A and B are shown apart, each in its own frame.
Chain A
Amino acid sequence: MTQNKTDGPPRTVPIQSATFSGSVNAEIRRAAATGIYDIRGGGAKRKLPHFDDLLFLGASMSRYPLEGYREKCETSVTLGTRYAAKPIELDIPITIAGMSFGALSGPAKEALGRGATLAGTSTTTGDGGMTVEERGHSNKLVYQYLPSRYGMNPNDLRKADAIEIVVGQGAKPGGGGMLLGQKISDRVAEMRNLPKGIDQRSACRHPDWTGPDDLEIKILELREITNWQVPIYIKVGGARPYFDTTLAIKAGADVVVLDGMQGGTAATQDVFIEHVGQPILACIREAVRALQDLGMHREVQLIVSGGVRTGADVAKCMALGADAVAIGTAALIALGDNDPRWEDEYQKLGTTAGAYDDWHEGQDPAGITTQDPDLMARFDPIEGGRRLNNYLKVMTLEAQTIARACGKNHLHNLEPEDLCAITMEAAAMARIPLAGTDWYPGKPGTSY
């Protein structure tokens, strides 16, 4: 308070601008000093309409619940029933999203494979190709087919249980990837066929097809090479979910993977993460509408991702019409990323546990997003796999708890009618009635 400091007329107190906040000004100063945009990992950090804005109604007079953990509530899901001779059968509808080797260490990839396998689900390669660690430790491994084609080869393609053609990612729809020179170890450089120590850009568009008509032929080629055995997924960022899903189905996808703007990334410009793409909550119903319009809902499966953290989130995704979810960031946290036990070291890096996102710099105290041998040695892939399995189990139990409360004997039986929304935004985006009403903005037959 400066008012009573001196004699004379009262003065206004200093007022910080909401527009030019401390963090905005700090970023302006950082930009002015360095001349480079901020690159970081993780997903959108701003507050967005999200699954927390939806609630389940539970059973009541007109709905009959199932008993605690005794009455059966199934969780299995089959992905790729449209064309593949060998669809992927998973025990739980929570998959591990594609995260690149290069961004993650070999042991971290191994841990993801171990945890996913213990929990009866799949894991996914990423930019940079397939490593022996993850193939060896993953019962079901989805092989990403990315614009960069780093490490892409037909031998690994044939070893995959499914192929995921990456068109986009929620953190950066329309953007490519970046692995800065400091993370390019000999092994990473060799897999990518590039000199060590240089920045490696992953292209933002595929080199040998340009649109959905070409993609249809590309999918034909991939199916021919793999003898129509394995499912082909198409992954898109949350941009135009109705049309993207429609075109993915038209191009021949078995599975559509839809990643909203909260979705994590290994390294992207902050401006891209925070300002491009739609929150996943706004995307799911639109994708489901596309599937329904084409008569393909449940025939082509929908996996959604971007900020999935709990069994409640899983249940909400399923209720909105998804067949499964994928997790990236949450899986890394389960492995030990951003754990307060490393707080001293986060402080030395100018950050704090929970906020650490400079994964591209390769100095991760938890030894997960690094290629530095000393840091990597801190991470035990067996223990990591165990933790991931525990976490997946808890999420599944939580989702089942909710499903039983809604009277559902399979997670897939959750439906939009089980939900209400607690904000107008969520009601409008998810087309779920606002709590206490039977209305949501844009509801057909209403004029407002």
Chain B
Amino acid sequence: MQEFDLEAEGLRALNSALHAQNNDTNQTAWEILNPKGSHAIAVGLDAPIDVTVKGSTGYYCGGMNQQANIHVAGSVGPGVAENMMSGTVVIDGDASQYAGATGHGGTLVIKGNASSRCGISMKGIDIIVHGNVGHMSAFMAQSGNLVVCGDAGDALGDSIYEARLFVRGSVKSLGADCIEKEMRPEHLAILADLLDRGGVDADPSEFKRYGSARKLYNFNIDNAY
């Protein structure tokens, strides 16, 4: 186990040490102490390592992650795991705005609540939120899955493309072109797998599925707002 005191050694030293790891590294377990809300912790990683952050972080923790498993034993600021490509990021607490924004792949698990714009412009990432998500979540979401075990705020899935949204609780309102869709057996199977990966003990049949009505895909004046 590599222990790293962020307060003592600084952000640059931390990210350089993590970037120095490659696929063959034998330093596979890292613990980051004293994050104290710092920004850009463990960004741009590209190695199969486990990183635990002992405390809460600022913006963009785990940004653009590839391969690594990042676990935050605390809450995270805006843009956690933004543009993630692969690997997993697990947050024990809550996440601020734009969690998982533009993520292309990998899995983001938020055990608390996520604020507004969770999964904005997502491009293939899977996001599992144990609690609620704020307004404008999955705005312009292109692909991937967003699972919300609690409630969703206003304008869920506004201008959504092909991402799948699963919500167990209430949805305050749906955004432009987002509609409720039939939950077919294949969706239940996809959701069961997501819940399993997110460590959620819930029955897939309690969820509703939302997605694109595909009415805004090609310009039509009658759909202009």
Question: Is B36 part of the binding interface, using a Cβ–Cβ cutoff of 8 Å?
Answer: no
Question: Is B115 part of the binding interface, using a Cβ–Cβ cutoff of 8 Å?
Answer: no
Question: Is A428 part of the binding interface, using a Cβ–Cβ cutoff of 8 Å?
Answer: no
Q: Which of A209, A220, A225 contacts B64 (CB 8 A)?
A: A225
Given contacts A149-B121, A203-B121, contact A208 B161 (CB under 8 A): no
- Which residues of chain A from 161 to 218 have any CB-CB distance to chain B below 8 Å in the complex? 180-181, 192-195, 198-199, 201, 203, 207-209, 214, 217-218
**Interface pick from A152-160, A339-347, A348-356:** A152-160
Instruction: Tally inter-chain residue pairs, CB-CB below 8 A.
Output: 102
A154 near B39 (CB under 8 angstroms)? no
**Distance, CA A149 to CA B104, complexed state (A):** 10
List A contacts of B117 (CB < 8 A): 207
Q: Which residue of B lies closest to A36 (CB)?
A: B221
Q: Which residue of A lies closest to B77 (CB)?
A: A217
Most A C-beta atoms less than 10 A away, residue of B11, B16, B60: B60
A interface majority secondary structure: loop
Q: Which residue of B lies closest to A150 (CB)?
A: B123
**Distance, CA A194 to CA B163, complexed state (A):** 10
List B contacts of A195 (CB < 8 A): 161-162, 217
Question: Is B15 part of the binding interface, using a Cβ–Cβ cutoff of 8 Å?
Answer: yes
Q: Which of B12, B60, B102 contacts A149 (CB 8 A)?
A: B102
- Which residues of chain B from 42 to 60 have any CB-CB distance to chain A below 8 Å in the complex? 43-44, 46, 58-60
B140 near A208 (CB under 8 angstroms)? no
- Which residues of chain B from 76 to 99 have any CB-CB distance to chain A below 8 Å in the complex? 78-79, 82-83, 85, 97-98
- Which residues of chain B from 120 to 149 have any CB-CB distance to chain A below 8 Å in the complex? 120-121, 123-124, 139-140, 142-143
**Distance, CA A201 to CA B139, complexed state (A):** 12
List B contacts of A221 (CB < 8 A): 39-40, 43, 59-60, 63, 79
**Distance, CA A194 to CA B160, complexed state (A):** 11
**Distance, CA A199 to CA B124, complexed state (A):** 19
Q: Which of B43, B162, B217 contacts A224 (CB 8 A)?
A: B43
**Distance, CA A17 to CA B46, complexed state (A):** 65
Q: Which residue of B lies closest to A220 (CB)?
A: B40
How large, as a class, is the contact surface on chain A?
Answer: 20 to 34
Q: Which of B16, B46, B218 contacts A181 (CB 8 A)?
A: B218
B219 near A207 (CB under 8 angstroms)? no
Q: Which residue of A lies closest to B162 (CB)?
A: A195
- Which residues of chain A from 203 to 257 have any CB-CB distance to chain B below 8 Å in the complex? 203, 207-209, 214, 217-218, 220-221, 224-228
B59 near A193 (CB under 8 angstroms)? no
B14 to chain A, nearest CB (A): 9
List A contacts of B97 (CB < 8 A): 208
B217 near A193 (CB under 8 angstroms)? no
Q: Which residue of A lies closest to B66 (CB)?
A: A154
A208 near B64 (CB under 8 angstroms)? no
Given contacts A195-B161, A208-B120, contact A36 B219 (CB under 8 A): yes
B83 near A153 (CB under 8 angstroms)? yes
Q: Which residue of A lies closest to B58 (CB)?
A: A217
B104 near A227 (CB under 8 angstroms)? no
Question: Is B194 part of the binding interface, using a Cβ–Cβ cutoff of 8 Å?
Answer: no
B83 near A152 (CB under 8 angstroms)? yes
B102 near A208 (CB under 8 angstroms)? yes
List A contacts of B40 (CB < 8 A): 217, 220-221, 224
**Distance, CA A77 to CA B39, complexed state (A):** 33
B44 near A226 (CB under 8 angstroms)? yes
Interface size on B, residues (CB 8 A): 42
List B contacts of A224 (CB < 8 A): 11-12, 15, 40, 43-44
List B contacts of A157 (CB < 8 A): 64
Q: Which residue of B lies closest to A182 (CB)?
A: B218
Question: Is A148 part of the binding interface, using a Cβ–Cβ cutoff of 8 Å?
Answer: yes
B102 near A218 (CB under 8 angstroms)? no
- Which residues of chain A from 1 to 53 have any CB-CB distance to chain B below 8 Å in the complex? 35-36
A203 near B140 (CB under 8 angstroms)? yes
List B contacts of A36 (CB < 8 A): 219, 221
List B contacts of A152 (CB < 8 A): 83, 102
Question: Is B19 part of the binding interface, using a Cβ–Cβ cutoff of 8 Å?
Answer: yes
B78 near A214 (CB under 8 angstroms)? yes
A225 near B43 (CB under 8 angstroms)? yes
A35 near B59 (CB under 8 angstroms)? no
Given contacts A193-B143, A194-B142, A199-B218, contact A227 B39 (CB under 8 A): no
List A contacts of B217 (CB < 8 A): 181, 195, 198-199
**Distance, CA A157 to CA B44, complexed state (A):** 10
A154 near B44 (CB under 8 angstroms)? yes
Mask: chain B, 181-218; 1 = CB below 8 Å from A; 0 = not: 00000000000000000000000000000000000011
Question: Is B101 part of the binding interface, using a Cβ–Cβ cutoff of 8 Å?
Answer: yes
Most A C-beta atoms less than 10 A away, residue of B66, B102, B120: B102
**Distance, CA A153 to CA B64, complexed state (A):** 7
List A contacts of B64 (CB < 8 A): 153-154, 157, 225
List A contacts of B58 (CB < 8 A): 217
**Distance, CA A157 to CA B104, complexed state (A):** 14
A214 near B161 (CB under 8 angstroms)? no
B79 near A209 (CB under 8 angstroms)? yes
List B contacts of A194 (CB < 8 A): 142, 161-162
**10 A-B pairs with the lowest CB-CB distances in the bound complex, closest first:** A225-B44, A35-B221, A198-B217, A208-B79, A208-B101, A154-B64, A208-B98, A149-B102, A221-B40, A207-B120
> A interface vs B, CB < 8 Å?
35-36, 148-149, 152-154, 157-158, 180-181, 192-195, 198-199, 201, 203, 207-209, 214, 217-218, 220-221, 224-228
> B interface vs A, CB < 8 Å?
11-12, 15-16, 19, 39-40, 43-44, 46, 58-60, 63-64, 66, 78-79, 82-83, 85, 97-98, 101-102, 104, 117, 120-121, 123-124, 139-140, 142-143, 159, 161-162, 217-219, 221
